Amino acid sequence: MNTDAMIVPAEFPQLQALAWSRDISRPIPAEEAFALYERNWRFVDQKHLTVREKQLIQELAKKFGHGILLTTT
């Protein structure tokens, strides 16, 4: 994944929910998306993560979290 990659929250259901206070059609930097997931993991409905979104989270964790997504659950 390119560190300059931009992610559109509207394309990922759980990220869309986390970005509720933003324009979800506006791309955000990949690192910011990772921070949203990590900071708000308790609000992610893991049972409803799509395969594509799971892959995104794994890629983001690998790139920005050294393979780890820090969660409180």
- Distance separating alpha carbons of residues 26 and 42, to the nearest angstrom: 24
Residue 13 counted as domain residue:
yes
- Distance separating alpha carbons of residues 70 and 35, to the nearest angstrom: 10
pLDDT of residue 39: 92
Range of the domain at 31: 6-65
Residue 71 counted as domain residue:
no
Residue 38 counted as domain residue:
yes
Residue 52 counted as domain residue:
yes
Q: What is the pLDDT along the chain (73 residues), one digit of tens a residue?
A: 554 689 999 999 999 999 999 999 999 999 999 999 999 999 999 999 999 999 999 999 999 987 778 775 5
How many domains are there within the chain?
1
Residue 43 counted as domain residue:
yes
Residue 1 counted as domain residue:
no
Residue 27 counted as domain residue:
yes
Residue 17 counted as domain residue:
yes
- Distance separating alpha carbons of residues 66 and 64, to the nearest angstrom: 6
pLDDT of residue 66: 77
